Chains A and B, each alone.
Chain A
Amino acid sequence: DAGVTQSPTHLIKTRGQQVTLRCSPISGHKSVSWYQQVLGQGPQFIFQYYEKEERGRGNFPDRFSARQFPNYSSELNVNALLLGDSALYLCASSLLPAKGGETQYFGPGTRLLVL
């Protein structure tokens, strides 16, 4: 198993553009979470999805949205990009929503640079 995969690995956009990031969870995992990691800081929770439904949302503006597909893969969309959106975007998958000590497995991330 390749683990959690994310695409693309790197992305350069300009202010005002829109971006879509993709995540494929580990086979059998039904829950996907998204995190933003700004340089020099720890990851910050954006969303969690389980069985195609949003199960949690962090303190991010409505420009950020996500969805989960029947095959449990997920997309994160960010509209009207700002310079401050430049960050590493991490996807994590788990068997179930992260409760009871359920381990989250992280992907390699997508590095987004907004110019």
Chain B
Amino acid sequence: AQRVTQPEKLLSVFKGAPVELKCNYSYSGSPELFWYVQYSRQRLQLLLRHISRESIKGFTADLNKGETSFHLKKPFAQEEDSAMYYCALKEAAGNKLTFGGGTRVLVKP
């Protein structure tokens, strides 16, 4: 069965500092990986997905199949990046998302 692990429950960084959220997955096939974000008092929303290879709000994530990781990075954190971040995996042929436990990011001024 697939599993997604986010080892950090909380990441606290200063504004302008780099931030990296770790995500490791366990899945035998070819997964699709996503990062979802939930800002305070807002609904869960898609931030980015590995197949798009895009940068959203300055965030990037690279799928490393050898290390089974999909870490989320941003070189210069902003206060508005403070939120809850979830890594999620979807089987290539399946219909469900498997989420990690989430990482809360706090960007201090």
A residues with a Cβ closer than 8 A to B are 3-4, 33, 35, 40-45, 48, 50, 55-56, 58, 90, 97-99, 101, 103-109
Contact = CB atoms under 8 A, between A and B. Distances in A.
24 contacts: A4-B43, A33-B95, A33-B96, A33-B97, A35-B97, A41-B102, A42-B6, A42-B99, A42-B100, A42-B102, A43-B44, A43-B86, A44-B99, A45-B96, A45-B98, A56-B94, A56-B96, A98-B90, A101-B49, A101-B51, A104-B46, A106-B45, A108-B43, A109-B43
Given A43-B86, A101-B49, A101-B52, A106 B95 contact: no
A interface: dominant SS: loop
Interface residues of B, number: 25
Contacts of B90: 98-99
A4 B98 CA distance: 20
